[in-house]
Structure 1
Amino acid sequence: MLRSLHIIPDKCTGCLQCEMACSFEHEGVFNIAKSRIKVFDFHHAGRKVPYTCTQCAEAWCLHACPVEAIKMDAATGAKVVVDSICVGCKVCTIACPFGTVNYNADTGKVIKCDLCGGKPACAEACPTGAITYIDANWTGLERMRTWAARTDTQPRASA
C-alpha cells in the first residue's frame, strides 16, 4: 500500500515545526532554510500553507536528470535523490513545476522530500494534524489522476 503526505491547509498555524523537524532529520540542524518542506505565507489572506514534493507519478524531476540521480524508492514510492550520483546541475529544479526540488549550496547537490524512508518527520512533528501520512487512496490521488486523464487534451511527445 502506497502512502502519501496529506496536507490540510486550514489546520496549519505556521509554527514551522514541520520545517524544523525536516531539517534536523536530514541535516542534523534546526535550520528551516535546509528543510525539504516549506510553509508558504499568504500575507494578504492571513494563511499559512505547508508544501513539499507531491511524489507525482509523472516525476518530471526524475525524467529530467541527465545522470539518473533520482530513483524511485520501491517501498515508499518516493522519488529520492542519490547524493553519490547527483552532480548538482539543477536541471531537476527547473523541471519541477511545483518548485519543490531545491539546491543545497553547502553540499552542491539537490534536495527534495524523500518521505523520510516511510516515517516523515514533518508529519510526526505537526502539532495540529495539518500534515499527516496516510494511505494514498484517502488523499484522493487516484481520483485526481482519473480526472486529469479525462481532461488532458495536450499532445504528448512519444518516447
Structure 2
Amino acid sequence: MQKALNINADKCTGCLQCEVACSFEHTGTFNPSKSRIKVFKFHDEGRFVPYTCTQCAEAWCLQACPVEAISYDAETGAKVVADSACVGCKVCTIACPFGTVNYVPDTGKVAKCDLCGGDPKCATACPTDAITYVDASMTGLEKMRAWAAKTDVGLQAEA
C-alpha cells in the first residue's frame, strides 16, 4: 500500500515543528531554512500552509534530470535524489511546476522531499495533525469530501 503526505492547512498553527524535524533528519541541524517542507505564512489572513513535494505521478523532475540522479522508490512512491549522481545543474528545479525541488548552495546539489524513506519526520513532529502520512488513495477522497462539504454549506446559505 502506497502512502502519501496529507496536508490540512486548516489545522496548521505555524509552529514550524515540521520544518525543524525535516532539517534535522536531512542535515543534522535544527534549521528551518534547510528543510524540504516549508510553511507559507499568510500574515494578513492569519493562516499557515505547509507545502512540500507531492510526489506527482508525472515526475517532471525525474524526467528532466540529464544524469538520471532522480529515481522512483517503488516502496514509498517518493522521487529520490541521489546525491552521488546529482551534478547540481538545476534542470529539475526548472522542470518542477510546483517549486518543490530546491538547489542547496552548501552542497551544490538539489534536495526535495523523499518521504524520509517511508517515515516522514514532518508528519511525526506535527502536533496538530495538519500533516499526516496516510494511504495514498485516501488523500484525494478526503479532500474531495471536504470541498463538497464546504460547497454544500455554501449552496445552502444561498437558498
Partner of 2:83: 83
Q: Deviations over 1:17-40 (max 9, x none)?
A: 000000000000000111000000
- In the other structure, the counterpart of 2:45 is 45
Structure 2 residue aligned with 1:72 = 72
> Which residue is 2:14 aligned to?
14
Quote the residue 2:98 is aligned against: 98
TM-score between both structures, scaled by the size of structure 1: 0.88
The structure that is helix-richer by fraction is 2
Q: Does 1:61 pair with 2:61?
A: yes
Moved over 6 A (4+): none
Number of residue pairs matched by the alignment: 143
Gap runs ≥5 in structure 1? 145-159
What SS does the corresponding residue of 1:140 show, helix, strand or coil? helix
2:54 aligned partner, one-letter code: T
Which amino acid is 1:40 matched to? Answer: F
Tell me the equivalent position of 2:113.
113
What is the TM-score with the length of structure 2 in the denominator? 0.88
CA shift digits 1:35-65 (9 cap, x unpaired): 0000001122210000000000000100010
How far the C-alpha of 1:67 sits from its partner, in A, is: 0.5
What RMSD in Å do the two structures reach over aligned CA positions?
Answer: 1.3
How many percent identity over aligned positions? 78
